[in-house]
Structure 1
Amino acid sequence: MPDSGTTMRVLDVTDADALPLEDLVAQGQPVVLRGIASGWELVKTGLQSAEAAMAYLRSFDAGVPIQYSYGGPDIGSRPFYNDDFTRLNFEVRRGSLAEVMDGIAAHREDPQPPTYYVASLLVDRALPGFATSNGLPLARYGIDAPPSIWIGNRVVASCHFDAPDNLACSVVGRRQFTLFPPDQIGNLYPGPLDPTPGGQVVSVVDFDRPDFERHPRFRDALSTAQTATLEPGDAIFIPSMWWHHVRSLAPFNVLVNYWWRRSPDFLSSPLPALHHALWTLRDLPEREKSAWASIFEHYVFGPADRAGAHLPEQARDLLGAIDETRARRIRAMLINRLNR
């Protein structure tokens, strides 16, 4: 990848109980947490060998069916699209964790191996007991974030964003992260909303071989990028909505991450609202779109209490704070209107 903006801020946090998580969330900037998971059993085992790490994982394997991505050597370790973006360049398979690790082990010495990638597998479901000696004490911060595990070989995860805050721990192998702030979306050239390689829209720029004639604004994105390489036992805090490109650097890699939202569960994902806006607003005449932009600024993107501030509280209805009861009413209203 071409030279990018700046090196990411680093904190040495060898004691997980000293993690300044609330400060990190409030600052809203990415940061590397050196050594925070260095005491995990899998980290220590993985430093011995990849074979030892696989054996350790197998000792927790509940044998439940899992879903994983498989791509031939021709995809270059990058689960992505075909040339015209009409379909994905890999297949989604169902099998066992043991099958995935067998496949990775069989091709560890290949210069261009097939891609095996287990993404966002819930630890407690697939590897019961693993989190006891391999986890961070996030509950002390009032955060309910079930850990997920990511297992694969030299996989390149195309640049994408996630809505929740993310704390990702490099457990086995090394990982290179490149992050961009949310306002760089236009300079990253997002691909189709559907299908997507992993559930989220991704940048179509090939970070290894960027085509600056097709994607000239990517140079501007690179000037804002923050980069870091994580060793086993390091973690990275990725704030909500930050774009991140992730490259696994070893023949066998394991990452454990925690996603969480500070908003209550009854607040739905904004993504369906985006889809609905594409349907109802995007192709309106520019004059109407401008008017609707003012309306959304007033009701949605401005201060939460502004639109109903001039009304008595009992008359605010949906302009009041959204609680679980109002959330149910809005959901029922939307379903009813969409079904007409």
Structure 2
Amino acid sequence: MAIYKALPEFHGLATEQFFAEYAPRAQPLVIRGFAQQWPLVAAAKISPEGFVNYLLRFYQGKKARIFVAPPAANKRFYYNEAMTGVNYLSGEERLDLFLGRLLELLPRAEYPAISLQNSLIEELLPGLVSENPTGYFPDVMPRLWIGNEGIVSAHYDGADNIACVVAGRRRFILFPPEQTANLYPGPLNFTPAGAPTSMVDLNAPDVNRYPNFSIALANAYSVELEPGDAIFIPMLWWHHVESLEKVNALMNYWWNGSSSPHAISPSPIDSLNIALLAMRDLTPAQRNAWRQMFDHYLFKQGVDPASYIPEHQQHLLGKLEPDYIRAIKDYFIEKLKK
């Protein structure tokens, strides 16, 4: 049985302190009681029916993306056995019908895993956010995730994330970015739900096929969140998420990265794909030589490359004006057509 590390926990954390002191460290942490004053959380603590009824006060008929995995999937939304597709169905459904189905499944011993994922709350439930505000993100629209007991395998996001449990309980297991190789990432361009995913089933790991997973497990963190609790997950931290009750809900805020509403283009993940295309045929020695270039220009592991070049000749190393960024993008658009 794995022995997980504990995450730092805070009971209330001022907005200014979080963004000035903790977010720049890119280390995960837990904020207990982050949303304890929200009417949404209060309704969920009364009963599943109270939670559903509260949500429906704001519903105006818009459909949402729904995912359904059969009982044979063991609550895990993932690839199918042959990796030719996924083990669940998805489609558009009215929120009121989905929530009714969620309540209908409560007394059943065997049931499918159903989930509403990644819905912009202001589009689906206008007015809900203003009644359940956070001072952390006045300009970021949160997203809503609702379902019964389900498992989302370890994956990473391209943005910093604060995820707040608003109903039920969720268990998070986190792995730092340096454990990426030991998590055996799946394809970049064929994923169960948009984000690259670990090939290892954390609840039943195949140690013969994935022997280095034990190293990742020795460096993993775990925490269980109650309604109103939140977790900060820095970008590129792997996280395995389990919904532990038959009615679960989470609101999350992405910012400062490729998953956020204000994402730059191209994103870092786009750049990774382009680099894989550009360097796939290089020898190991050539790749190592290019690693030195990336370390110098991009990751700035030694002398800052902009520190000794005149400002007017720094180009991509210096301050970028919108017209220059547009010109660079246009250049690469033409370059990639060849």
Does TM, normalized by the shorter one, top 0.5? yes
Aligned residue number for residue 246 of structure 1? 241
Aligned residue number for residue 79 of structure 1? 77
The 5 A counterparts of 1:193-212 are: 193-212=188-207
**Cα pair 1:147 1:257 within 8 Å, conserved:** yes
Greater mean alpha carbon deviation, residues 281-290 or residues 56-65: 281-290
Q: What amino acid is aligned across from residue 101 of structure 2 in structure 1? A: G
| Displacement after TM superposition at 1:309 (Å) | 4.1
CA distance in 1, matches of 2:6, 2:264: 37
Aligned: 1:289 with 2:284: no
Aligned residue number for residue 186 of structure 2? 191
CA distance in 1, matches of 2:303, 2:324: 15
Q: 3-state DSSP class of the match of 1:301?
A: coil
Give unmatched runs, 5+ long, in structure 2.
none
Aligned residue number for residue 158 of structure 2? 163
| Displacement after TM superposition at 1:18 (Å) | 8.1
Aligned residue number for residue 3 of structure 1? 2
CA distance in 2, matches of 1:19, 1:100: 39
Aligned residue number for residue 22 of structure 2? 24
Aligned: 1:172 with 2:170: no
Greater mean alpha carbon deviation, residues 37-46 or residues 289-298: 289-298
TM-score when normalising by structure 1: 0.92
CA distance in 2, matches of 1:133, 1:106: 27
Aligned-pair Cα RMSD in Å: 2.2
| Displacement after TM superposition at 1:297 (Å) | 2.2
Aligned residue number for residue 115 of structure 1? 113
The 5 A counterparts of 1:292-303 are: 292-302=290-300
Greater mean alpha carbon deviation, residues 228-237 or residues 268-277: 268-277
CA distance in 2, matches of 1:163, 1:321: 23
The 5 A counterparts of 1:261-276 are: 261=256, 266=264, 268-276=266-274
The 5 A counterparts of 1:52-67 are: 52-67=50-65
Q: What amino acid is aligned across from residue 186 of structure 1 in structure 2? A: A
CA distance in 1, matches of 2:226, 2:9: 13
| Displacement after TM superposition at 1:43 (Å) | 0.9
CA distance in 2, matches of 1:29, 1:17: 16
> Cα gap change, 1:91/1:305 in structure 2, threshold over 3 Å: closer, same or farther?
farther
Q: What amino acid is aligned across from residue 164 of structure 1 in structure 2? A: A
Aligned: 1:319 with 2:317: yes
Aligned: 1:149 with 2:147: no
CA distance in 2, matches of 1:83, 1:215: 17
Q: 3-state DSSP class of the match of 1:7?
A: coil
CA distance in 1, matches of 2:272, 2:264: 18
TM-score when normalising by structure 2: 0.92
CA distance in 1, matches of 2:150, 2:282: 41
Greater mean alpha carbon deviation, residues 16-25 or residues 240-249: 16-25
**Cα pair 1:138 1:145 within 8 Å, conserved:** no
CA distance in 1, matches of 2:168, 2:277: 43
CA distance in 2, matches of 1:309, 1:317: 13
**Cα pair 1:282 1:289 within 8 Å, conserved:** no
Identity of aligned pairs, percent? 36
